[in-house]
């Protein structure tokens, strides 16, 4: 077994539910299977925001303000979106 695998496995054993959470992510079961919301989730998570107090509420807000109304329908729309316009939409 590689050193990296041993290290990862040791961390996985310390956090209950982590393996299930990772498996769900890999099976694309988070955020109702929405790749857009998973990318937004990953972006917020990657900057160190607390998952349950900041990331989840902001992804839900993004969904309500930009996805449900059809403005951002897919990853192409997200990639082409103007960051300034997205910020304005989120501030409303």
- Give the pLDDT band of residue 1 (cuts 50, 70, 90): low
- Give the pLDDT band of residue 74 (cuts 50, 70, 90): very high
pLDDT averaged over every residue in the chain: 88
Residue 41 falls in which region: left (phi positive, over 0), alpha (psi -120 to 50) or beta: alpha
Q: What is the pTM of this model?
A: 0.70
> Residue 7 pLDDT more than 70?
yes
List the domain boundaries for the chain.
1-32, 34-92
Separation of alpha carbons 52 and 1, rounded Å = 34
Nearby residues of 19 by Cβ (< 8 Å), 6 or more positions away: 12
> Residue 61 pLDDT more than 80?
yes
Under 8 Å between Cβ of 35 and 75: yes
Least confident range of 14-18, 27-31, 65-69? 14-18
Total H helices, total E strands in the chain: 6, 0
């Amino acid at each position: 077994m590689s050193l990296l695998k041993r290290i990862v496995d040791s961390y996985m054993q310390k956090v209950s539910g982590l393996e299930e959470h990772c498996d769900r992510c890999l099976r694309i079961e988070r955020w109702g299977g929405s790749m857009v919301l998973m990318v937004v989730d990953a972006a917020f998570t990657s900057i160190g925001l607390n998952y349950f107090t900041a990331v989840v509420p902001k992804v839900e807000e993004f969904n309500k303000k930009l996805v449900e109304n059809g403005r951002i329908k897919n990853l192409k729309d997200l990639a082409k979106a103007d960051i300034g316009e997205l910020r304005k939409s989120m501030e409303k």
